Structure 1
Amino acid sequence: MTQDKTVTRGDTTETRIAIVVSRFNTEVTSGLLKGALAYLGEQGIAVRPDAIKDAPGAFEIPLIAQTLVRSGRFDGVICLGCVVKGETAHFEYISDAASKGLMNVSLETGVPLTFGILTTYTQDQAIARSLDDAHNKGREAAAACVETITTIRQISTH
């Protein structure tokens, strides 16, 4: 993820962002969503309630994000979820599928999709990364999305 960089409001006035958030492990994902929305609010970017979509789990996030991108209504999508390692290989399969799915959609469409899906070894690690502080990974995913949109716009206008 990128550093929590502040982008001037002039760069983001017309920025349309959607958020996909997993319903699985809501104790963590609700904190990630709160962090993302706080960062966007600080940047003057409003996210409409209908631009926040639930996903059953991390595996389903790429398809929902792809559908949002294909709607043509968004400049970027912040993807938030949490996969905690258990006793089986499920963790590896879900994490790998979600990350590859999001990267493929982003590269195929040219629309930034940021990876705010925690992949941790313990629930405590996940909770620590979703607290209401500067280290919130939802906040970082939002910052990465805004920064990437801004950079792409700068490249496109030069």
Structure 2
Amino acid sequence: MASALKNLSSYNSDNLPDISGKKFGLVVAEWNKEITDTLCKGAYDTLLQHGAKPENIYRNTVPGSFELTLGAQFLAQSNEIDVVIALGVVIKGETKHDDYICHAVAQGLTQVGLKFNKPVIFGLVTTNDEQQAWDRAGGKHGNKGVEAAATAIQMLNWVN
């Protein structure tokens, strides 16, 4: 569903699993840092709100969104990490780079999750301009980081 039709910070919190003993890996792109930091704060606060312990939330940074895949793999390969949340921002520019980056990240994160048999959450904001990115990082459409964390928690229902 398009975020213009849904608030990214709204989710059903019924039947969420106990996450007090779960470990979360956040991999965050530094490109568009102010926005990605806001996404990360949304994810972090949501995990804490639902019972995650601060010492069980690990944040790693990578230079840009393209590198999220490898950063996610480094986290996912650890038996200590139960779920990985990848957060980044790709803003359309004058060239088609955004198409290539977004496709590569989507495919890469999918492959990491399948390879390590654990949830790897796609928290990539893909927009036409910077304002749209801010609208999805705590603005009028909510915070994609909150949505990503809620998805991560919900996916733990599927993990043994």
TM-score band, normalised by shorter chain: 0.7 to 0.9
Q: What SS is found at the alignment partner of 2:73?
A: helix
Deviation at 1:133, TM superposition (A): 7.9
- Corresponding position of 1:27: 34
1:5 maps to which of 2, 12, 35? 12
Runs of 5+ unmatched residues, structure 2: 2-7
Percent identical among aligned pairs is 36
SS at match of 1:124: helix
1:147 is aligned to: 154
Q: Report if aligned partners of 2:43, 2:149 keep a CA contact under 8 Å in 1.
A: yes
User: Which residue pairs with 1:90 in the alignment?
Assistant: 97
Relative to total residues, which structure has the larger helix share, 1 or 2? 1
SS of corresponding position for 2:142? coil
User: Residues of 1 paired with 2:23 and 2:139: CA distance?
Assistant: 24
Structure 1: gaps spanning 5 or more residues? none
Per the alignment, residue 64 of structure 2 pairs with 57
Q: Are the equivalent residues in 1 in contact too, given 2:83–2:120 (CA < 8 A)?
A: yes
The two structures have a TM-score, normalised by structure 1, of: 0.88
CA-atom RMSD in angstroms: 2.2
Which letter does structure 1 place at the counterpart of 2:135?
A: A
Tell me how many residue pairs correspond in the alignment: 153
How many Å apart are 1:120 and its aligned residue? 0.5
